[in-house]
C-alpha cells in the first residue's frame, strides 16, 4: 500500500505549527501584515485555508504564535549579553539587551502593532521581562521601583516605540493636510521654525532628519539615566 504513493512523495513535507508560523512571518515581512490572512497563508503553503486550523486554534492564536517566534529569537540572541559585574553595571546590561531586541524587531516593521494588539502574556515574553527585572534587582532596585520602571519603559523595553504618524512624520509633505507652507507658518509657528532650522541641516544623520535609531536611543537613555538616579535614593 505504501508503494502506490511513494513515487509522487516529492517535497510533501507535512504541515506543522512551526512551519505555519514561520510562513506567516515571511508573508508579513514580504507583503505586509494586511496580507496575512488565513486564505493567503494557506495558499502560501499550498494548502486550503481551513487546513491551518489543524495547527493553530484561530487567527488570534496564529498572531500569538508569530509574536512568540520573534521573542524567542530575541531571547536566544540576548543570552550572549555579558552578565552584570556589579550593581552599577545594571544599566549597561539592560541597554544592551534592549538594543538587541530592537535589532531583531527592526526587520519586521509590522511587529510593533501586532505585539501591542496582543492581550495575553506568553511564556517567552514573560521570560524576557523576568530577565530585565532580574537586572534591576541586581542593580539595587526595590521591587516597587523596578515595577514602576517596567511601566515607564513600556514597549521600549522590547526595543520599539510606536511612532505617531510614522512615515513623513511631522511636516515633510505639508500638502497631505491641504495646508500651504505659508498657512502653516502662521498657524503653527513653532513647528515651522523648527522645520526651517533642522531640515536645513541634513549633515547630522544619514537618514531623513528623523533617525529612528537615534531618537530611540535618546529616549531610552533619558529613561535609564533617570532610573539610575532614583535607584540610589
Partner DNA sequence: ACCTGAACACCGTTCAAGT
Residues that bind DNA (CB under 7 A): 14-15, 35-40, 42, 47-51, 53-55, 58-60
Options 84, 114, 161, 205; binder of its own copies; rule CB under 8 A: 161
The binder of 54, among DNA, its own copies, none, by C-beta within 5 to 8 A per type, is: DNA
Placement of cell 506568553 in the chain: 122
Is residue 53 near its own copies by the rule CB under 8 A?
no
Q: Which is nearer to DNA, 59 or 77 (CB)?
A: 59
The listed partner (DNA, its own copies, none) that binds 116, CB under 5 to 8 Å by sort, is: its own copies
Residue with the three cell numbers 556589579: 86
Least distance from C-beta 152 to its own copies, angstroms? 4
Kindly tell me which residue out of 44, 84, 129, 205 binds its own copies, with binding defined by CB under 8 A. 129
CA 79 to chain centre: 18
Work out whether the CA dihedral 140, 142, 145, 146 comes out positive or negative.
positive
In the complex with DNA, the residue whose CB is nearer, 51 or 72, is 51
Considering CB distances under 5 to 8 angstroms, the limit depending on partner class, which of DNA, its own copies, none binds residue 134?
its own copies
Give the nearest distance from C-beta 49 to DNA in angstroms. Answer: 5
Distance CA 74, CA 85 (A): 22
Question: Least Å distance between CB 113 and DNA?
Answer: 15
- The full 3-state SS of the chain, as one line of letters, equals CHHHHHHHHCCCCCCCHHHHHHHHHHHHHHHCHHHCCHHHHHHHCCCCHHHHHHCCCCHHHHHHHHHHHHHHHHHHHHCCCCCCCCHHHHHHHHHHHHHHHHHHHCCCCCHHHHHHHCCCCCHHHHHHHHHHHHHHHHCCCCHHHHHHHHHHHHHHHHCCCCCCCCCCCCCCCHHHHCCCHHHHHHHCHHHHHHHHHHHCCCCCCCCCCCCHHHHHHHHHHHHHHHHHHHHHC
Q: Report what 39 binds from DNA, its own copies, none; CB cut-off 5-8 Å by kind.
A: DNA
Contact code string over 182-211 relative to its own copies, x by CB under 8 A:
--x--xxxxx-xx--xx-----------x-
**What is the contact surface with its own copies in residues (CB under 8 A)?**
113, 115-123, 125-127, 129-131, 133-134, 137, 143-144, 146-148, 150-152, 154-155, 158, 161-167, 170-171, 176-177, 179, 184, 187-191, 193-194, 197-198, 210, 215, 218-219, 222-223, 225-227, 230
Amino acid at each position: 500500500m505504501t508503494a502506490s504513493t511513494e513515487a509522487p512523495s516529492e517535497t510533501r513535507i507535512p504541515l506543522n505549527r512551526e512551519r505555519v508560523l514561520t510562513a506567516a512571518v515571511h508573508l508579513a515581512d514580504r507583503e505586509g501584515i494586511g496580507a496575512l490572512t488565513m486564505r493567503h497563508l494557506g495558499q502560501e503553503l499550498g494548502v486550503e485555508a481551513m487546513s491551518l486550523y489543524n495547527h493553530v486554534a484561530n487567527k488570534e492564536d496564529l498572531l500569538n504564535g508569530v509574536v512568540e517566534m520573534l521573542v524567542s529569537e530575541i531571547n536566544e540572541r540576548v543570552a550572549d549579553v555579558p552578565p552584570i559585574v556589579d550593581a552599577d553595571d545594571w544599566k549597561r546590561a539592560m541597554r544592551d539587551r534592549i538594543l538587541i531586541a530592537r535589532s531583531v524587531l527592526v526587520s519586521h516593521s509590522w511587529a510593533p502593532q501586532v505585539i501591542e494588539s496582543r492581550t495575553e502574556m506568553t511564556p517567552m515574553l514573560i521570560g524576557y521581562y523576568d530577565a530585565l527585572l532580574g537586572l534591576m534587582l541586581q542593580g539595587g532596585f526595590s521591587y516597587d521601583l523596578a515595577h514602576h520602571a517596567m511601566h515607564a519603559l513600556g514597549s521600549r523595553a522590547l526595543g520599539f516605540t510606536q511612532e505617531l504618524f510614522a512615515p513623513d512624520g511631522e511636516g515633510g509633505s505639508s500638502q497631505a493636510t491641504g495646508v500651504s507652507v505659508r498657512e502653516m507658518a502662521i498657524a503653527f509657528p513653532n513647528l515651522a521654525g523648527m522645520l526651517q532650522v533642522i531640515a536645513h541641516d541634513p549633515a547630522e544623520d544619514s537618514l531623513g532628519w528623523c533617525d529612528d535609531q537615534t531618537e530611540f536611543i535618546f529616549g531610552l537613555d533619558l529613561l535609564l539615566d533617570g532610573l539610575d538616579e532614583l535607584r540610589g535614593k
